[in-house]
Homo-oligomer: A and B are copies of this chain.
Amino acid sequence: MQLLEERILKDGKVYPGEVLKVSGFLNHLIDEQLLDEVGKEISARFCKQNVTKILTIEASGIAIACAAAHYLHAPVLFAKKSKTNNISADCYCADVMSYTHGTLSKVCVDKEFLSSSDRVLIVDDFLARGEAVRGLKSLVEQAGAELVGCAIAIEKGFQPGGAQLRAEGVRVESLAIIDSMTDDSLVIRHQN
């Protein structure tokens, strides 16, 4: 997606440890026009899949999932990290390791909101090692629902998550794929 790729090249900031900071437009400050276009693009790629639930993980996936929901006309379900007093004990849960934050967390969704009749699109801002998507995929499987695919804003193509998921037969659509990233260069994969 050209608009997103151009924005990454213009405003993305590379930090040590292969961290790409897009907090100026995607996951802290959110450019609503870009977000709308991202939602439109995800919808264009999955609109024939009869998506019944858009599944994401708090916090930075929520905006993108909602933008996609606006065009796909499907509800958003966001998995919560760790249990809170406000969530039913009757949950599907999975462990997710965040390498960025160095933390292991449990992600949960209420069982009543995900069922075997659902056709689920997973949405997230980043795909790197694939831990978050794997956790969400586990929730879909526990519910016996069908996973129609994953829509990702930015994939770190030099990390194994995307390739592994595709090798398992999951349809992964990344709007921008970073092929390499160093302090002074950022290479985006050409996608037609």
Query: Across the interface, do B66 and A35 meet the contact criterion of CB distance under 8 Å?
Result: yes
Known A-B contacts A59-B80, A62-B59, A85-B101; the reply to A70 vs B28 at CB < 8 A is no
Q: Which residues of B sit under 8 angstroms from A80, Cβ to Cβ?
A: 28, 59
Contact with B along A47-77 (1 / 0, CB 8 A): 0000000000011001100110110011111
Residue A146 CB within 8 A of the other chain: no
The reply to whether B100 and A86 contact each other, CB–CB distance below 8 Å, is yes
A101-B86 Cα distance, complex, nearest whole Å:
8
Closest to A71 in B: B32
Q: Is the interface of A mostly helix, strand, loop or mixed?
A: mixed
Name the residue on B nearest A103 (C-beta).
B84
Query: Once the chains are docked, how many angstroms separate the CA of A66 from the CA of B30?
Result: 8
Given contacts A87-B23, A101-B86, contact A70 B29 (CB under 8 A): no
Q: Min CB distance, A23 to chain B, in Å?
A: 6
A-B contact list, 10 entries, CB within 8 Å: A23-B87, A28-B80, A28-B113, A33-B73, A58-B59, A59-B78, A63-B63, A63-B78, A84-B101, A86-B101
Besides A30-B66, A58-B59, 19 other A-B contacts (C-beta < 8 A): A19-B85, A29-B76, A29-B77, A29-B113, A30-B75, A30-B78, A32-B70, A32-B73, A32-B74, A33-B73, A36-B70, A59-B62, A59-B80, A66-B67, A84-B100, A85-B100, A85-B101, A86-B100, A86-B101
